[in-house]
Chains A and B, each alone.
Chain A
Amino acid sequence: MRAAWIIAKNVIEESIRKKEIYVLFILSIAMMSVVAMASFFSLTGLVKYFIELSFLIITYITVIIAVVVGARQLPVELNSRTIYPLMAKPLKRSEFIIGKWLGTSIISTFCFLVFEGIFIILLFSKGSSVSGILIQGIFLHILQLMLISSIVICLSAFMTNAANVTVSILYFILGHWIGKAISDMLDKCGTFLAWILKSINYILPHLDYFDLSKKIVHGWPPVPAWVIITVTIYAVVYISIFLLIGTLKFQRRQL
């Protein structure tokens, strides 16, 4: 794991030198400020409105960061040929994949925590406080970022940077609706199609399990601990599966 950590540190060092993170950073802070100011002039439900939009902005921006950073890792290493001196060192291909995932997860989580910090400061300025469900929402979104990072790193072993970004962003959008959409469709289709849909439903990870935004906006009490533990196990299992698939594909690949 030490070798994976060395690779992760390199991902972090490279990412903080790229402009795209700073652009997304400024963009999201600007959007949150606009939302904060707009809600200042409103009278009814201003905090709910602020929380909902801010959480949406933070979620999308941090997922875009995870996808953009993760998708370029393997293709850029191959195109720039930096992978050759690296893979000649005592570094397993599995450690390379895990390191890339770890670095992507750390960068996206760090950005998320900074955004959340700003969000919480703005929340305090509106006289609101940090609720238990908000803490749980933050934790689950970190898990979601780690899961998406594993999907992106896995896909980078199969496809180009641009294709990976497109597929991953699409999956992030659809992944929140997949369970509901499939259960709605099940009643209207034949046995064979229903079987295929059910299989898809079981195979693909449901990103809606990581989304507590509605509950946060409406001030629900924290969800039971067993739910959080189950979702954590769910995320760990899927992350392991995606990293395993990515590693197996990368191990077979001729450099």
Chain B
Amino acid sequence: MKPVIEIKNLHAEYRVGREKTVALGGISLRTYKGEIFGFIGPNGAGKTTTINILLGFMYPTNGNAVIFGEKSSSIRNRFRIGYLPEIAYYYPFLTPFKILTMYGKLFRINKTILNNRIDSVLATVGLTEKKNTPIRNLSKGMSQRLGLAQAIINDPEVLILDEPNSGLDPIGKREMRDIILDLKNKGKTIFFSSHQLSEVELICDRVGIIDRGQILKTEKLDQIVGKIDTKQTLLEDIFIRMIKDKRA
């Protein structure tokens, strides 16, 4: 099976003054069509750096990232990708309708189709009533939903979600989970970065565990849980054990 997302030997460094910090030390992983891939790791592990390279916000020092067989950040790929940033800020003076119109136009979506799609995605994320409310007046949870709405405005084949539950209350988390599962059922490939392991456990098919710029394990969720313990163990326990073993 051909991977949708393929990362090969990806290295990245940050430079602060004269000091170099290795953010990624040669990670490789694959994501396949129709799966939800959970990319998990503690804060500062390299999750957001990996996503930034996938989207072309950062340049790797070595290695490459490919989506649909071509450079992940190519303009052609961006027509097929939806992205939800970890901390989602949108132009506060615009309304959800206006910002979705702006983003939709960048995808060159026909006006009539775009208007219908805006109504549809706002209904999906439960923001129909806030369609014409300035973004500055939306709560954090509503902004996060708007983030998901803008990520799916182009009906993408691949969704890259960076901490999608950030700032959501339990009801919001539940709704976000349902939306993500619904997108999976529609055949979307989802790259899901999180450190909220309970959420990952509930929705992901496979997980990649990253710490200090190194992939510790990439496997199916049921295998990862089953292999390490004979009893049913929470992903959180396994995750903590792996990180501790690696750092020991």
Q: A: which residues have CB within 8 A of B? A: 2-3, 6, 9-10, 13-14, 17, 80-82, 84-92, 254-255
User: Given A2-B108, A6-B105, are A88 and B89 also a contact pair (CB < 8 Å)?
Assistant: no
Whether A81 pairs with B91 at a CB distance below 8 angstroms is no
Contacts of A2 in B (CB 8 A): 105, 108
Name 23 interchain pairs, CB-CB below 8 A, sorted by A.
A2-B108, A9-B102, A10-B102, A14-B91, A80-B89, A81-B89, A82-B90, A82-B91, A84-B57, A85-B88, A85-B90, A88-B83, A88-B85, A89-B107, A90-B75, A90-B78, A90-B79, A90-B107, A91-B75, A91-B106, A254-B52, A254-B58, A255-B57
Interface of chain B residues 92 through 106 with chain A (CB within 8 A):
93-94, 102-103, 105-106
Q: Which B residues are CB-close (under 8 A) to A9? A: 102
User: How distant is the Cα of A105 from the Cα of B34 in the complex, in angstroms?
Assistant: 46
Question: Any chain A CB within 8 A of the CB of B5?
Answer: no
Taking a contact as CB atoms closer than 8 A, the residue among B89, B93, B108 that contacts A13 in the complex is B93
Whether B102 pairs with A6 at a CB distance below 8 angstroms is yes
> Which 3 pairs show the lowest CB-CB distances between chains A and B?
A88-B83, A255-B57, A89-B106
Q: Which A residues are in CB contact (< 8 Å) with B85?
A: 81, 84-85, 88
Q: Does B87 contact A (CB under 8 A)?
A: yes
Identify which of residues 197-215 in chain B touch chain A, using a CB-to-CB cut-off of 8 Å: none
Q: Which of A13, A80, A84 contacts B94 (CB 8 A)?
A: A13
Q: How far is the CA of A10 from the CA of B52 in the complex (A)?
A: 24
Q: Tell me the complex Cα distance, A92–B56, Å.
A: 11
Query: What residues of chain A lie closer than 8 Å to B58, measured between beta carbons?
Result: 254-255
**Which of B76, B81, B83, B91 lies in contact with A10, CB distance below 8 A?**
B91
Q: Which of B52, B76, B94, B150 interacts with A85 by CB under 8 Å?
A: B150
Interface residues in B104-132 (C-beta closer than 8 Å to A)? 105-108
Instruction: Tell whether, in the assembled complex, residue B56 and residue A87 are in contact, meaning their CB atoms are under 8 Å apart.
Output: yes
> A81–B147 Cα gap in the complex (Å)?
13
Q: How far is the CA of A229 from the CA of B88 in the complex (A)?
A: 47
A224 to B85, CA, bound (A): 55
Chain A: which residue is nearest B90 at the CB level? A82
Q: How far is the CA of A79 from the CA of B28 in the complex (A)?
A: 31
- What is the bound-complex CA distance between A6 and B107, given in angstroms? 11
| Cα of A87 to Cα of B54 in the assembled complex, Å | 12
Q: Which of A3, A14, A85, A255 contacts B83 (CB 8 A)?
A: A85
**Residues of chain B with a CB closer than 8 A to A90's CB:** 75-76, 78-79, 106-108
Q: Nearest Cβ distance between residue B189 and chain A, in whole angstroms?
A: 16
| Residues on the A chain within 8 Å of B68, using CB | none
With A85-B150, A92-B75 in contact, is A254–B57 under 8 Å at CB?
A: yes
Report B-chain residues with C-beta under 8 Å of the C-beta of A80: 89
